[in-house]
Every structure is written in C-alpha cells, then in structure tokens.
C-alpha cells in the first residue's frame, strides 16, 4: 500500500509526540528558542493568533497565557493534536486545536498573526514550500504578520554535527543541495528519536514568500534570555549561539 506524503509526514511526528514534548524542557528550547520566538512576536495581548505546526501546543498555550484573545493551533499529526488537547484545562476558552496539513488549509477565520515554529523546512520541495506559503497568506489580512523559527539556511554544512551538550545532533549527506534531507537526532530522557527536515537557501524561502504575497521578509539571529545567561553562564551557550542551527524569520502580508 502506498503512503501519501502528508501521511508520511504526520507519521514521523505521530511516532515521537511524547519524547518531542519532553525535549521542550531543555534550557536551549526555553532560553534561546522560546525567548527568540516571543521577542520577535512582541506584544500579543488581544490578538487572534494562528499557531501553525503547533505540535503538542507548547507555544499555543504560552500565546494564550501571554494574553492572546484567541489561539488556534494546527498540526498535521493527530498524535500531536491529541496530546495538545489533553493539556487543555476543563472549560478553557480561547484555545483550540485542529488537524490539518498547512499546505492545504481551509479558511480558518480572521487572524492578526500566524506563527510557524519549525514548519517551512518540512516542505519536501519548492512546490510544497510554495503551497505552504500561499496557504498561510490566505489566512492573514493585509499587514498581518508571519513569525517563524526555521532552519538556518546560512549554516555551512561543515558546521553541522553534535550539539551534544544541548541533547541533539544535526547531519546531512554531503554535498548538501537544495532539498537535501537534514536529520536531527534528539535525546529525551533515555530515548533517542530522529526526524528529518529539508535544506533550502534563503533565496528559495524569500521567493516562495514573495510569490505568496508576503513582503518585508527578514531573517533574525537567535537571542539569549538574560535569565538563561545568568543561570548557565556564557560558556554553556557559546557552542549553540556561535553556530546557530535555526534562525528567526518574519514577513508581512502585502497590502
């Protein structure tokens, strides 16, 4: 029996939903990834937010806690969405979850901002990347923002490797080219799990976003939460921040 691409992508995350959830507790997730993501987003009080590739809802919940009026989390993986829903408190309002492939979203409502922490690099080719970007643009009004954390296209392949202190490693078959699969191996407790994303150059992302109607496309370096610096010391963070595997990416729906 053949497996549709969307099902294969969902299966990858269905299988690792619980260990992935645990990996979000690591210092690098909280003090660099989360801090960078929320710094790029800025004030979310009163906003309607579409959290794409929400996984088990780590950022969806935090968006609501930070005052977003309404947050809709969307993910292709049923297991991830079940895990997200299981963490809703009884009667909790303003937060909802749906299973969808971002490449093919129906009209989901009116949103001020769409977030995409680790989504675009799951596109398996430039066609899928284009479909994701067009689908996201359709959910936003003119001026609506997209805030993403994404693979760092400018990280040289020679600098992939172990981030063992932070509990993961990153590898690619060389020579790396457009669309090359990148493998992440992550430790979570005593388990090791893997998943694959894809490499694209900055220009490929920028072209896909521009063609979908986004403007003001910007890449942003990661930022370290001063609390994380105080807690772990500069040396702890240097290996990650001197060779960042991911970056921030923002864009705005053109008027």
Residues whose CB falls within 8 Å of the CB of residue 144, separated by 6 or more in sequence, listed in order: 111, 112, 113, 114, 252, 253
113 contacts ligand SAM (rule: CB under 6 A): no
Number of residues forming the site for ligand SAM (CB under 6 A): 19
Find the binder of ligand SAM among 32, 40, 47, 53 (CB under 6 A).
Answer: 53
Which residues ranging from 211 to 250 are in contact with ligand SAM (CB under 6 A)? none
Q: Of 32, 7, 10, which Cα lies nearest the Cα of 165? A: 32
> Which uninterrupted H or E stretch holds 43?
none
Closest CB to ligand SAM: residue number: 55
Stretch of 51-59, 83-91, 106-114, 172-180 contacting ligand SAM, by CB under 6 A: 51-59
Which residues ranging from 5 to 44 are in contact with ligand SAM (CB under 6 A)? 9, 13, 24
Q: In whole angstroms, what separates CA 238 from the centre of its chain? A: 22
Which residues ranging from 58 to 87 are in contact with ligand SAM (CB under 6 A)? 58-59, 75-77, 80
Compute the least distance from the CB of residue 110 to ligand SAM, in Å. 20
Q: In whole angstroms, what separates CA 248 from the centre of its chain? A: 10
Find the binder of ligand SAM among 102, 120, 148, 172 (CB under 6 A).
Answer: 102
Stretch of 61-69, 82-90, 113-121, 219-227 contacting ligand SAM, by CB under 6 A: 113-121
Compute the least distance from the CB of residue 158 to ligand SAM, in Å. 24
Compute the least distance from the CB of residue 178 to ligand SAM, in Å. 18
Stretch of 55-63, 185-193, 201-209, 242-250 contacting ligand SAM, by CB under 6 A: 55-63
> Which uninterrupted H or E stretch holds 197?
strand 191-198
Stretch of 63-71, 100-108, 163-171, 213-221 contacting ligand SAM, by CB under 6 A: 100-108
Q: Which residue has the tokens 């072209």?
A: 207
151 contacts ligand SAM (rule: CB under 6 A): no
Helix segments in the chain, DSSP class H: 5-14, 17-23, 27-28, 35-41, 58-65, 78-86, 126-138, 202-211, 226-232, 234-241
Question: Apex CA 174: angle with CA 24 and CA 201, to 5°?
Answer: 65
Alpha-carbon gap, residue 162 to 141, rounded angstroms: 41
Alpha-carbon gap, residue 230 to 234, rounded angstroms: 8
Q: Contact residues for ligand SAM (CB under 6 A)? A: 9, 13, 24, 53-55, 58-59, 75-77, 80, 101-103, 117-119, 122
């Amino acid at each position: 029996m053949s497996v549709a691409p969307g099902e294969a992508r969902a299966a990858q995350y269905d299988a690792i939903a619980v260990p992935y959830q645990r990996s979000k507790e690591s210092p690098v997730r909280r003090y660099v990834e989360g801090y960078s993501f929320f710094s790029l987003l800025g004030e979310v009080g009163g906003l309607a937010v579409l959290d794409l590739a929400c996984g088990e809802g780590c950022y969806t919940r935090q968006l609501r806690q930070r005052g977003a009026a309404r947050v809709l989390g969307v993910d292709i993986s049923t297991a991830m969405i079940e895990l997200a829903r299981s963490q809703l408190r009884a009667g909790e309002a303003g937060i909802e979850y749906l299973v969808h492939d971002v490449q093919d979203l129906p009209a989901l409502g009116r949103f001020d901002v769409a977030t995409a922490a680790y989504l675009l690099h799951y596109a398996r080719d430039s066609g899928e990347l284009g479909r994701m970007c067009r689908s996201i643009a359709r959910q936003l009004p003119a001026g609506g923002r997209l805030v993403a954390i994404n693979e760092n296209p400018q990280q040289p392949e020679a600098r992939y490797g172990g981030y063992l202190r932070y509990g993961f490693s990153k590898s690619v078959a060389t020579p790396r080219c457009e669309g090359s699969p990148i493998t992440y191996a992550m430790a979570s407790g005593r388990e090791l799990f893997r998943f694959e994303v894809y490499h694209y150059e900055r220009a490929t992302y920028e072209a896909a976003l521009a063609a979908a109607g986004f403007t003001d496309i910007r890449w942003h370096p990661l930022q370290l939460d001063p609390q994380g610096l105080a807690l772990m010391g500069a040396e702890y963070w240097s290996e990650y921040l001197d060779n960042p595997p991911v970056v921030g990416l923002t864009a705005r729906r053109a008027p």
